[in-house]
Amino acid sequence: MASTPLMAEFPELAQLSREDLEDLLVDPVYFQATFHALNQVKSLYQAQAELGSANESIARHNLALQDSLYKLRTETQEAFDEAKALEKRWKDLEKEQKEVYQRFSPQFLLMRLRHATAAQDDLSEARASAFVQGSTEEAASSLSGKDIDDFVREFKELRKVYHKRMMWGDRWAAGQVEWRDD
């Protein structure tokens, strides 16, 4: 029998007669029996069984890790959610801080000083007007030296505060006030 590529690749078939080879083509059971007896097929099935075994081992290992992975996923999600909440809180605090700092900015403080100076001037002038009107109504009747001394002391104190504020405003306008950020 001449050597063919089939016989070279499957030397077990070289021992079969022509009739046996023809029977292989016609009888599926005989073909299957001969096919499964080939060394290459046996080694292929062996490799497939080993791979299946390895896959099962990997699957068992993965299943063993499943609970801890789910727990870790939950913890990670919780940490992520907490980080997002903290990030939002940080932004809110930054906004709040900016609003608080704005009340202490040089421009805002200058505006407050100017308003306070004007209010102090109005207060002292109102007090003086009230005293003058009160003294004209009482004219000579019952205005004592003590009343005058009290008014002078109070008016003097009001004007002193007004003039201090004016001096600070003038210094500020002249660039003599320096604000530090520390």
pTM of the model: 0.46
In this predicted model, what pLDDT tens digit does every residue of 157-181 receive, in sequence order? 999 999 999 999 999 888 888 877 6
Residue ending a domain, among 31, 61, 96, is 96
Q: Do 166 and 120 contact (CB within 8 A), yes or no?
A: no
In this predicted model, what pLDDT tens digit does every residue of 26-39 receive, in sequence order? 999 989 998 888 88
In this predicted model, what pLDDT tens digit does every residue of 37-56 receive, in sequence order? 888 889 999 999 999 999 99
Q: What is the dihedral of CA 40, 42, 48, 51, to 10 degrees?
A: -100
**Residue reference for tokens 């109504």:** 137
Residue range of the domain that includes 71: 13-96
Alpha-carbon gap, residue 152 to 164, rounded angstroms = 18
Element (H, E) at 114: helix 106-138
Domain contains 182 = no
Q: How many structural domains compose the chain?
A: 2
Q: Do 32 and 45 contact (CB within 8 A), yes or no?
A: no
